[in-house]
Structure 1
Amino acid sequence: MKFYIGTTTLVFAALLCMAIADKRYLLYDCNPGEGFNLRRDVYMRIANMVKNLREQKECKGDDWVLVLPPWGRIGYHWKERDMEQSKIPWSKFFDIPSLAKHVPVIEYDDYVEEIGDAKVDEIWYLQRYEEGWSSGNWEDKMHERPCIDQPVYESEGNSDKIRGWFWGYEETYANKFKCVSVQGSSKIFFGPLCGANTTAQSIMLDRGENILHDMFGGKDYWDCRRSMRFSKELVEEANEFRKKHFGSNDEADKTVMPEDWTEHKCTEGDALGGPYIAAHLRRKDFLYARKDQVPDLEKVAKVLKEKMQEYKVNKVFIASDGTKEEMAQLKTLLPEMVMYKPTKEKKKAFKMGGVAIIDQIICSHARYFTGTKESTFSFRIQEEREIMCFSKDMTFNRICSDQEPKDCEQPTKWKIVWNSDSEIWQ
């Protein structure tokens, strides 16, 4: 029996094969010690790298896709060591279709299914320059170098497979590994990734926190940040808490945003916020690492009572990593305080990252917010409020410690960029 295939079918098949061949995947990971909110910032650096790779002339024809690294193994911040706190997909915390409006993304499990194997072609382990920054003038540069530290990857016996930590997926392996000293922003990767140094279909950049933003605070930064909408499950939980404890909702608070973030734009001061104020109080390691910047609980209670009077509200929401004893003491000093305390079932369902996000959503919708200096948790809340167009005076605040002057330095007021990279600072 003979089969005849028409010309149109052959052309379509050829184009399909070319499309598959041209698809390339960028994976990344961070130092295990990096916290949840810093990792969100690293995502933005890598996502904008992929966006720019897709626009580079030397990368023409390469359909770059960002593979989202499963969440877990966040040492200090996520104390639970069981498998329930690893292999967590991004969809647990974020709205994937929203992310994809900025850059093509895919969950790790879907990546494995798509390529048909749990592997990465190449790992580039990003490290510092051993000689340090000694030239006197900053320059963006990268070179393949001998490994300075011993990476957590090794060859498997006599095979060519390289094993290591791949987000808890023991079956995953790599074909090739090298250490790369890097200093600078993601733009220095364009040439090497676009054929100058590799034609691999999949490349993993480990220690992605070593890559800097091309334009911190520019339009691409804010577009990527706006695309990071939270999962509907977490938003619904936070909204229900706001409604129950504060009588807060988006319509009354003037924080309604369109479903599609690309259609959203507002002006500073458009948002009113719910009838409560909110504070993020970072404690634990900050009590000794930044002890001169952390106010005592008596000072916190005093300032928050003053702010409740100023904004004519009678409730304050507290997000904190403080101990039970510290929060009990604060409750005595500040009876009006409310905290989000999920049931065991909800805590298990939302994971530790989800509980943190719910805290951030509630804080971001408050009439007034005050945070902790140099805390990425507070910074993420300030970004959310900037996106919703709260007044900067109601957003970029912190409580001074007793060791600081009364007019201590307040957080930098970042201005959202809607249309261009002009006027980034204010």
Structure 2
Amino acid sequence: MLFFSLLLTSCLVLTFAEDDLQGYCDAKHQSCNIHLEEDEKYILYDVNPPEGFNLRRDVYMRFAIMMSEAQKHENMKNWKLVLPPWYNLYHWKTVDSSHKPVPWSMFFDMESLRNFAPVVELYEIFPKTKRKHFEINRLYILQNFPDAFENGIFDDKWEIDKDCHYSGSFWGYNNITVKEIDCVKFQGRTSMLLELISLHPSDKYVMFAHGEIPLHDYYGSKSFWDCRKSMKFSKKLIDKARKYMSENLNCIDERCSTYISIHWRRQDFARARRKDVPSIKGTVRQIDKAIKKYHPHILDVFIASDAQNSELEQLENQLNDIGYRVHFYLPSSSDLQEFKDGGIAIIDQIICSHAAFFIGTHESTFTFRIQEEREILGFESNTTFNRFCPDTGKCEQPSKWTIVN
């Protein structure tokens, strides 16, 4: 097809991307001290570009659990999962965060990740190739079926399709090429991707586009929580959050009793989900009610939010007026440079996770990740699974996805 011909032709003329991120190396440099076995094979994936940081963390879990389970079978022991660099995320606004690929080690404890599943960073496999470009043997472009509930039933299934389009950028690297492209309609569990891999046993590097389409195999199970617990944040992010908590919120404990936290999602939610989010006055009223009911001794409120400064000022002023002290983590320019937008968001999440009580935003993945952290820390569910309600109308509290040990 014409699209495939153009794509492959353009891929073959690409050259190396220069990258100055600490911890990166490329195939031109002999100083990359990385040892990879010759018989290893690799699974790569990407996620639909508009999807945010916290949804991508969930997609990682689907693939990591698949790989962890696959390691139990002899013919899959030499397969590894390649972590897609963080690149050009929609919510990341600073230039350094948006336009350079960022490795997972910037945000997560790699040793902990590898204790659960066989994962490697993308830059770690570049030295494997003897060419100037890194060639992916096969790219599967996953697509949804037009009717997920055909005949009223959701079946796990896949089928090879004839036509599709891939708009990915290979995370900003211009040394990545593709040899073969297969279009696949797909619905069902992530482990079914192994069936596709088995079609071409000689492939060494296999990639799946739209990794958000396959579903969890074991959502909420012990395997799910074992994977989630392995996603420990990097030490420097934890240290930064703890320092803030100690200096501003008078807490040095795992489970704090000195403040409550909220995640107040605005921007796109305030526009597109007006029936699910409260006004500023409604937000103040709900914070005040929760504190008086559950923690009447607390006066400190930590807020993580994407709201405009004008909204945050109004919220802070109204809370101040009724006697509360309001706290935000305000990164310095050096913090932004060191931690990137993703790291700043994680620091917010860590601080929210340790609070005595948490109120989140309905159906926000940022809130979901905080709730998971609080489950791991051992908080009572009634301090965790709470949401802001609209000013009027019905308001169902969130489902309680409690930890399984």
TM range (shorter): 0.7 to 0.9
Given the alignment of the two structures, is residue 37 of structure 1 paired with residue 54 of structure 2, yes or no?
yes
Q: Partners of 2:53 and 2:97 in 1: how far apart?
A: 17
State the secondary structure of the residue aligned to 1:39. Answer: helix
State the secondary structure of the residue aligned to 1:119. Answer: strand
**8 Å contact from structure 1 (residues 249, 274) kept in 2:** no
Match of 1:189 among 183, 188, 193: 193
Matches within 5 A, 1:316-395: 316-335=301-320, 336-395=325-384
Which residue type is aligned with residue 414 of structure 1? W
Which residue type is aligned with residue 399 of structure 1? F
Q: Partners of 1:132 and 1:39 in 2: how far apart?
A: 22
Match in the other structure for 2:166: 151
Residue 83 (structure 1) shift: 6.7
Match in the other structure for 1:268: none
**8 Å contact from structure 1 (residues 364, 384) kept in 2:** yes
Structure showing greater radius of gyration is: 1
**8 Å contact from structure 2 (residues 170, 176) kept in 1:** yes
Match in the other structure for 1:60: 75
Deviations 1:282-319 (A, max 9, x none): 00111121101101111211222333344111100000
Matches within 5 A, 1:26-425: 26-56=43-73, 60=75, 62-75=77-90, 77-80=91-94, 85-117=99-131, 118-130=134-146, 132-148=148-164, 150-152=165-167, 165-193=169-197, 195-250=198-253, 255=254, 272-309=255-292, 310-311=294-295, 312-335=297-320, 336-405=325-394, 408-418=395-405
Q: Partners of 2:274 and 2:97 in 1: how far apart?
A: 34
Q: Partners of 2:361 and 2:76 in 1: how far apart?
A: 46
Residue 398 (structure 1) shift: 1.2
State the secondary structure of the residue aligned to 1:393. Answer: helix
Residue 172 (structure 1) shift: 1.2
Which residue type is aligned with residue 399 of structure 2? T
Residue 379 (structure 1) shift: 0.6
Shifted more, 132-141 versus 179-188: the winner is 132-141
Distance 1:20 1:82, change over 3 A: closer
Residue 62 (structure 1) shift: 4.1
TM-score in terms of structure 2 length: 0.85
Q: Partners of 2:98 and 2:52 in 1: how far apart?
A: 17
Deviations 1:83-108 (A, max 9, x none): 76431000001000000010011111
TM-score in terms of structure 1 length: 0.81
Deviations 1:25-82 (A, max 9, x none): 11110000001000000000011111122223xx52641111111101112x123455
Q: Partners of 2:303 and 2:81 in 1: how far apart?
A: 35
Unaligned runs of 5+ in 2: 1-35
Given the alignment of the two structures, is residue 23 of structure 1 paired with residue 40 of structure 2, yes or no?
yes
Number of residue pairs aligned between Structure 1 and Structure 2? 362
State the secondary structure of the residue aligned to 1:175. Answer: strand
Residue 131 (structure 1) shift: 5.6
Which residue type is aligned with residue 189 of structure 1? L
**What do you get for the CA RMSD once the two structures are aligned?**
1.8
Distance 1:364 1:85, change over 3 A: farther
**8 Å contact from structure 2 (residues 89, 98) kept in 1:** no
Distance 1:33 1:40, change over 3 A: same
Shifted more, 114-123 versus 165-174: the winner is 114-123
State the secondary structure of the residue aligned to 2:183. Answer: strand
Q: Partners of 1:282 and 1:364 in 2: how far apart?
A: 16
Q: Partners of 1:301 and 1:347 in 2: how far apart?
A: 29
Q: Partners of 2:304 and 2:97 in 1: how far apart?
A: 26
State the secondary structure of the residue aligned to 2:154. Answer: coil
Q: Partners of 1:61 and 1:212 in 2: how far apart?
A: 20
State the secondary structure of the residue aligned to 1:188. Answer: helix
Residue 141 (structure 1) shift: 1.0
Deviations 1:316-360 (A, max 9, x none): 000000000000111110121110001011112111100000000
State the secondary structure of the residue aligned to 1:142. Answer: strand
Residue 199 (structure 1) shift: 2.5
**8 Å contact from structure 1 (residues 192, 198) kept in 2:** no
Q: Partners of 2:357 and 2:366 in 1: how far apart?
A: 16
Match in the other structure for 2:27: none
State the secondary structure of the residue aligned to 1:212. Answer: coil
Match in the other structure for 1:264: none
The alignment-based identity, stated in percent, is 40
**8 Å contact from structure 1 (residues 98, 229) kept in 2:** yes
Deviations 1:245-268 (A, max 9, x none): 111112xxxx2xxxxxxxxxxxxx
